[in-house]
A and B are shown apart, each in its own frame.
Chain A
């Protein structure tokens, strides 16, 4: 893990609502693993705290994040110019690596909206090992980004793309219609979605790994601000930033 400055190379709208910001850092491009995040100081003085962003893609010595504008941090990032320097601490958090291998045939990737961000790298790691089916859900098609994924199916609340309904509705329908052999879930998105997906995984008796989001200050395990309640083990809480962000959903309390 390092603290470094990286120059912005490109800012691109993937949809009306989702932006990909690419910058150059050979260190991060070499060391980042699927599911890890970067803690970025979006501006010098305001906001005060860094903001965590999942890594979206890596190409040679460049690395990118994808986000939609939800608050102050992301709206400042969306106005960066090419050549601006980003103050980054990373790579942070655990990765999907340790959860990829195992006795299953098909990885089922389930994302809500911008929760898709860690999935291109996960897909790249899975491709040579497992079959992949990806389910993307969002309010509208403007929140769906199917780039760098495999075998993608869509659900939108307004029906503007794919099935009208939630990504869980789509997942349930699809699994009823298809036989993917032994499966394992990987999910990322709003907490309520991940909880519902985790509950469904429990019903099916399959493992489900979710990348959890909480507010954070340091992102490196020192402030203890990003706790999540556990359901197993001798500790009531774990820290999302350094013991996660990826947990098996039955080991944590999602709300």
Chain B
């Protein structure tokens, strides 16, 4: 049974990754998870300087999901390199550094510093960050900005470069195409969906920033549709993410066309979700006489006249 997947120069032992921000820096709870059974770990978003993040409350549960507004709280790339990376290097899994920044230059600076370190296997770029120069509008909502970031970072590294796309745009496929044409190796689809919840007794928003990112099973159908849209738009691999809790969820993403998947919110509930998903996928493949998980990818059966973006909604 071949579970592995190769992206650029890196071969992952399986197609399961932990999503950024849902697994700490990667080595927090060794007693709860055997990370050697995961394809890779994506670190918390790293910025040039440490970030305090947003005020409390930062999270609230919503039907089949949760809203968060952590504000990219992180220790900064320098402390990550001195304190966390030495512990990550010795893990028997691939390490993907996630980068967040408020300017194109900062993205480049963080990546250049990480580029000098051993033990980082790939990068995932969080473009759902406010662009300080453009008055705080998200990079991720402007395909021109996503193009610039991808182009600039591509020049600086030969390691796999993955761009994590936001679903909070009209056509995510436009952004997927931009990433592909500027040299990204893959795209992660999707980041959280903007959402809101209100306490009717206090009439206050349930999280301090009023709106936040919705994640969990509530967004899985959205994520699947966005993956569907992207895999029809680009040839580079799409990494599926959004509400994956079980191996059945993961198989759905593979069938639609995702080459790898990430578990996010599920890690908060069962830190070893990725491992049980990997085991479930193996059983599914054995049962269906598949000797390579890859043969599942993009095997969705649809009528020829089903279009990616349905016009009759």
Residues of A within 8 A of B (CB): 1-3, 41, 46-50, 89, 214-218, 220-229, 235-237
Partner of B58, one of A220, A225, A235: A225
Contacts of B265 in A (CB 8 A): 48, 217
B66 touches A49 (CB 8 A): yes
Within 8 A of A (CB), among B261-311: 265, 267-272
A229/B56 contact (C-beta < 8 A), A49-B66, A220-B271 known: yes
Contacts of A236 in B (CB 8 A): 52
A48 touches B217 (CB 8 A): yes
Q: How many residues of B contact A (CB 8 A)?
A: 32
Contacts of A49 in B (CB 8 A): 61, 66, 268-269
B24 touches A222 (CB 8 A): yes
A214/B29 contact (C-beta < 8 A), A3-B271, A49-B66, A222-B267 known: no
A227 touches B58 (CB 8 A): yes
B52 touches A237 (CB 8 A): yes
Give CA–CA (A229, B73) in the complex, Å: 13
B269 touches A48 (CB 8 A): yes
Closest chain A residue to B26 by CB distance? A222
Partner of A217, one of B28, B55, B59, B217: B59
- Cβ distance A78 to chain B, nearest Cβ, rounded Å: 19
Cβ-based interface call for B167 (8 A): no
Partner of A221, one of B22, B28, B70, B272: B28
Partner of B64, one of A48, A50, A226, A227: A48
A-B contact count (CB 8 A): 91
What are the nearest 6 A-B pairs in CB distance?
Answer: A225-B59, A236-B52, A218-B268, A222-B24, A217-B268, A225-B58
Cβ-based interface call for B93 (8 A): no
Q: A49-B268, A223-B22, A226-B56 are in contact. List 15 more A-B contacts (CB 8 A).
A: A3-B32, A48-B65, A50-B269, A220-B32, A222-B28, A224-B21, A224-B70, A224-B73, A226-B58, A226-B59, A227-B58, A229-B55, A237-B52, A237-B56, A237-B73
Within 8 A of A (CB), among B73-90: 73
B217 touches A2 (CB 8 A): no
A228/B56 contact (C-beta < 8 A), A3-B272, A47-B61, A220-B271 known: yes
Contacts of B272 in A (CB 8 A): 3
A218 touches B267 (CB 8 A): yes
What sequence of 0s and 1s flags, for each residue 143-173 of chain B, a beta carbon within 8 Å of any chain A beta carbon? 0000000000000000000000000000000
Within 8 A of A (CB), among B200-238: 216-217
A227/B23 contact (C-beta < 8 A), A1-B31, A48-B269, A222-B268 known: no
Cβ-based interface call for B195 (8 A): no
Closest chain A residue to B55 by CB distance? A229
A214/B269 contact (C-beta < 8 A), A3-B32, A222-B22, A227-B73 known: no
B68 touches A221 (CB 8 A): no
Closest chain B residue to A227 by CB distance? B56
Give CA–CA (A218, B29) in the complex, Å: 11
Most A Cβ at <10 Å: residue of B55, B70, B269: B269
Contacts of A2 in B (CB 8 A): 31-32
Cβ-based interface call for B60 (8 A): yes
A-B contact pairs, 17 of them (CB 8 A): A46-B64, A47-B61, A49-B61, A50-B268, A214-B56, A214-B57, A215-B59, A217-B66, A218-B271, A220-B271, A221-B24, A222-B268, A223-B21, A224-B70, A225-B59, A225-B70, A227-B55
